[in-house]
Amino acid sequence: QVQLVESGGGLVQAGGSLRLSCANSGRTFTNAMGWFRQAPGTEREFVATINWSGARTAYADSVKGRFTISRNNAKNTVDLQMNSLKPEDTAVYYCAAGGSVSTIIADYNYWGQGTQVTVSS
């Protein structure tokens, strides 16, 4: 089974940075990994995704140029470096594993429990 655990969330001022990490304590990654987020009262939304080799990535327009997704298959981890954070980035961030690079929630089969990111103005 794939067991995903996120870490690295917290409280940061606007303009600051955070680095989220997702560890798979189950079987080795063999597929795409993604980050999604959900703010209170809103639907979960796509943030970023990366394929197995790391050669292919995609980002939501709202984070493009500020966030970077990366993965280390030897360590079974995928990270999300978040720079120039804005109050509107405040949300619970979820790591997910899917069969292929996709922006669609339904394409991801496994999910972590989420980590809270709060950006103060």
Distance CA 110, CA 12 (A): 28
Closest by CA to 119, choosing from 95, 79, 94, 83, is 83
25 falls in which pLDDT band (50, 70, 90)?
confident
- The pLDDT, as a whole number, for residue 100 is 86
Q: Give the SS3 label for residue 73.
A: coil
Q: 47 vs 6, 13, 82, 91, 116, CA distance in Å?
A: 15, 20, 11, 11, 14
Residue range 37-54: mean pLDDT, rounded: 96
Residue 30 scores a pLDDT above 80: no
pLDDT-above-90 percentage for the chain: 83
Lowest mean pLDDT among 15-19, 56-60, 92-96, 98-102: 98-102
Cα 5 to the center of its chain, rounded Å: 11
